[in-house]
Structure 1
Amino acid sequence: MSPAHTFTLQLVLGYVAWLLCYRAYIGPRLKAMDRISAHRAIATLHSFRFFGLVFAMPGVVGPHLPDSFAAWAAHADLATGVLAMLALLAWRLRALFWLLVAAFNLVGMADLLVDYYHAIHAHLPDMAGELGAAYVIPVIYVPLLMITHVAAFHMLVTPPVRRPAALAATGASR
């Protein structure tokens, strides 16, 4: 199998594995949380996106990793990670928290989509070995990041489900 086919297969299987994990474990857990706690959990995961700076580390990635991919991926990941950290720091200031949650999810998803665009145009799957130690990021980490961005956007645009305990607390009867 060619390196491009292997890379693509691993990327697809990364999505399949994380979707199965999300459906069985992560999704139900997030749904059981209040919205702020769920978004804080997602922000905590994305706060580690500073790790994307590895794409700009000579010796970690190969010297022929296309700069059109590496520079954007490194800096947009850093921006997403910082926005996620700021959201975590601002969680008690609700308006700022929600603004930062929306910001890190918008920046983060745009980053991943632009990374895919750059990777395709730079023929990155044909030279996936240039990712070096960072190979694990697009194959294992990126699928989880994309899935949690989609989950975050879904939670942001759907009205919260009122739980029986919340109904009882407001004095409403069933």
Structure 2
Amino acid sequence: MSPATIFTVQLVLGYVPWLLVLGTYVLPGLKSMEPWQVQRAIAVLHSFRFFGLVFILPGVVGPGLPADFAPSAAYGDFITGGLAMIALLTVRMRPLFWLFVVAFNVVGTVDLLINYYHGVQLGLPERAGELVAAYWIPILYVPALMITHILAFYMLARPWSKTGQATTGELTS
């Protein structure tokens, strides 16, 4: 198998275990949580996206990593992580919290989609070895990020129960 094929297979298969974890362990627990608690948990995961700056750190990635890919991936992750951290800091100020929840999910999803697009356009699968120590990010971390963004949007679009509305209303004051 070529390196590009191995990278692509690993990237696609990276979604399978995360979907199994989500279905088996995460979704059952979410049923007992308020919407803001679910979004807070998702924000915690995304607050680690500052780690994406590794794509522009010489020595961690190879010199053959497409120059058009690395800065976009690095700064998109950095901005998303910052927005997620701000969401976590504003959890007691519900209107701001919800604003930053939407912001980090929109920015983060767009960032991942742009990175997938740039990766394909710039031949990243053929140069996957240039990811060097950062190889695991698109294989293990990105699928979890994308799945949790989808989950966050699903939860945002879902109608809240009367209990959830009452609890959320009580906590905004």
TM-score surpassing 0.5?
yes
Determine the C-alpha separation between the residues in 2 that align with 1:147 and 1:160.
Answer: 21
| SS of equivalent residue, structure 2 residue 13 | helix
Q: Structure 1 residue 61: deviation in Å? A: 0.2
Determine the C-alpha separation between the residues in 2 that align with 1:41 and 1:119.
Answer: 29
What does residue 39 of structure 2 align with?
A: 39
Determine the C-alpha separation between the residues in 1 that align with 2:59 and 2:128.
Answer: 15
Q: Which has the larger radius of gyration?
A: 1
Determine the C-alpha separation between the residues in 2 that align with 1:45 and 1:139.
Answer: 16
Q: Give RMSD over aligned pairs.
A: 1.3
Letter in structure 2 aligned against 1:44: V
Deviations 1:21-77 (A, max 9, x none): 111112222232111111000000000000000000000000010111110000000
What does residue 5 of structure 1 align with?
A: 5
CA contact (8 A) 1:31 1:38 kept: no
Q: Does 1:138 align with 2:125?
A: no
CA contact (8 A) 1:56 1:71 kept: yes
CA contact (8 A) 1:129 1:135 kept: yes
Uncovered stretches (5+) of structure 2, i.e. residues with no partner: 167-173
Deviations 1:124-159 (A, max 9, x none): 000100001100000000000000000000000110
Task: Using the TM superposition, name which of 21-30 and 79-88 deviates more.
Answer: 21-30
| SS of equivalent residue, structure 2 residue 68 | helix
What does residue 63 of structure 2 align with?
A: 63
What does residue 92 of structure 1 align with?
A: 92
What does residue 171 of structure 2 align with?
A: none
Q: Structure 1 residue 101: deviation in Å? A: 0.1
Determine the C-alpha separation between the residues in 2 that align with 1:65 and 1:128.
Answer: 8
TM-score (norm 1): 0.92
| SS of equivalent residue, structure 1 residue 67 | coil
Q: Does 1:72 align with 2:81?
A: no
Q: Which segments of structure 1 move beyond 6 Å, counting only runs of 4 or more? A: none
What does residue 22 of structure 1 align with?
A: 22
Task: Using the TM superposition, name which of 123-132 and 154-163 deviates more.
Answer: 154-163
| SS of equivalent residue, structure 1 residue 68 | coil
Q: Structure 1 residue 162: deviation in Å? A: 4.8
Determine the C-alpha separation between the residues in 2 that align with 1:73 and 1:30.
Answer: 30
**How many pairs were matched up?**
165
| SS of equivalent residue, structure 2 residue 91 | coil
Determine the C-alpha separation between the residues in 1 that align with 2:145 and 2:3.
Answer: 24
What does residue 124 of structure 2 align with?
A: 124
Determine the C-alpha separation between the residues in 1 that align with 2:36 and 2:75.
Answer: 27
